[in-house]
Amino acid sequence: MYRVNAPAVYVEDLVAKNPAYMTKVDRVVAALENPVEPVIYTEGDLPDLMANGLMSGRGIMGDKEMVRDPALLFNTFKFDGQRQARLDRLAAAGVEKPSRLDEVLGHTAFYWANYNQEGDHARNDKVCRPCWRVHQQRGCLHKCTYCSLGGLLTVGVNTDEYCHWFGKLMEKHPWQLTYLLDDDADPPGLEPELGCLGELIEWFGTLENRYLIIHTKTWNTEWMRDLKHNGNTILVWSVTSPTQSQLIEPDTGTTDQRIEAARIAQEAGYQIRYKFKPIVPVKGWREDAAYTAKRIFERTNPDVITLCTFMWTHFKDLPGKLPLDLLDPEFLAAAEAAQEEMSQTLTRPFPPQVRAEIYRHHLQEIRRWDKDIPVSLSTESFSLWKEIGEEFGYKANNYPCGCGPFTVPGAPKVECNPFTVPHRADNGEIPGCMPPFRKA
């Protein structure tokens, strides 16, 4: 696993009482740079833990004077239908906004993402496919300057129970073929000592026409070689430039380390793919894009590549997320000039003409090496899709993406309507689903 110097390790009492779960925890603790004595806690201890800073390390990492490795918290996912009762008890104990502790309480196993459907406040501002997203962790070891998920890494260890209910969820949603794991974490970081990810991969290996998607920036895949995955796990690397991967994403794999990790996974029989995401236009970004594309195709054979610029940030907040001295001055000036234009869109801070230039250049560099591989845009706006989608050979409603619910190995063009076929059908019968099911 990664070299981790965790300042503290917290273990839920339900984990401590289960020898199989504690074995996982003990392996991780033994592998820490400086092993620490785990703190066993109960639900009743959470108000004090919060008062003593359990989640104080969260927040944009580029804003912090020093970013330490996160504390580790091992818990169990709860499938008992008692979420609201737990939140009420914490509220009565004086915890403000107790839903902040959903991850700590084990309430975040399965999440319905209603992207581009009714109720999605950004449905007209991005193109993404509605689907179930699944989680085993929340938090990250990578310390990317633009990320807010440091300070605490929560890990659910009851993978056996998790897979039971996951199977029930699949039965009710036969339209969903692929499931993205942990968009709020990078799960290979504690493996293989933890053992949860391997357990999940091998469970997927027993399924038919259902695929796990792991989205990662990791270098750590050697341990995955001997798992019985049966081709049912897809690994998607968020690949970024050498400058960005080393100076903005400091504890991730470098560009070359990520590509080597993908090569190892491919050699072990996993389907691999890439997202250039988030593309930060650093000085020399064009040369970096050319280098990265060259290295990808020299060493690996992905089935799809998607592109996404750095987004979701007001210009005024940019200094806290990115070192501005690394950015291309022309593109930084364009973002500053477009502040008013971009103030109401999620694709901020870079205006459409800048993003289009970035995408066209990356497409050109990819096509130098592969004329046929599907290349598409990730979480882009409908308007930019209309402007440049034809150059990629797709439209907003049929492109193969890196992690959507229909992009099986081989990344075929989507034939169904990706916005209307997906629908939530758990009907409140599957515990562990968020947001809680409400009848229409």
Q: Give yes or no for residue 71 having a pLDDT over 80.
A: yes
pLDDT band at 440 (very low <50, low <70, confident <90, very high): low
The mean per-residue pLDDT over the stretch 351-365 comes to 99
The mean per-residue pLDDT over the stretch 59-76 comes to 97
pTM of full prediction above 0.75? yes
> What are residue 132's DSSP bridge partners?
112
Q: Give yes or no for residue 99 having a pLDDT over 90.
A: yes
Task: Please give the share of the chain, as a percent, with pLDDT higher than 70.
Answer: 100
pLDDT, one tens digit per residue, over 100-126 is: 999 999 999 999 999 999 999 888 889
pLDDT for residue 403: 96
Contacts of 92 (CB under 8 A, 6+ apart): none
pLDDT, one tens digit per residue, over 180-209 is: 999 999 999 999 999 999 999 999 999 999
Contact 377/127 with Cβ under 8 angstroms? yes
pLDDT for residue 256: 99
Q: Domain residue spans in the chain? A: 9-421
CA-to-CA separations, 311 to 212, 317, 343, 389, in angstroms, rounded: 26, 12, 12, 19
pLDDT, one tens digit per residue, over 30-67 is: 999 998 999 999 999 999 999 999 999 999 999 999 99
The mean per-residue pLDDT over the stretch 368-380 comes to 98
The mean per-residue pLDDT over the stretch 338-343 comes to 96
Residue type, 385: W
The mean per-residue pLDDT over the stretch 250-270 comes to 99
The mean per-residue pLDDT over the stretch 374-384 comes to 97
What mean pLDDT, rounded, does the chain reach?
97
Residue type, 77: F
Query: Any idea which architecture 9-421 has in CATH?
Result: Alpha-Beta Horseshoe (3.80)
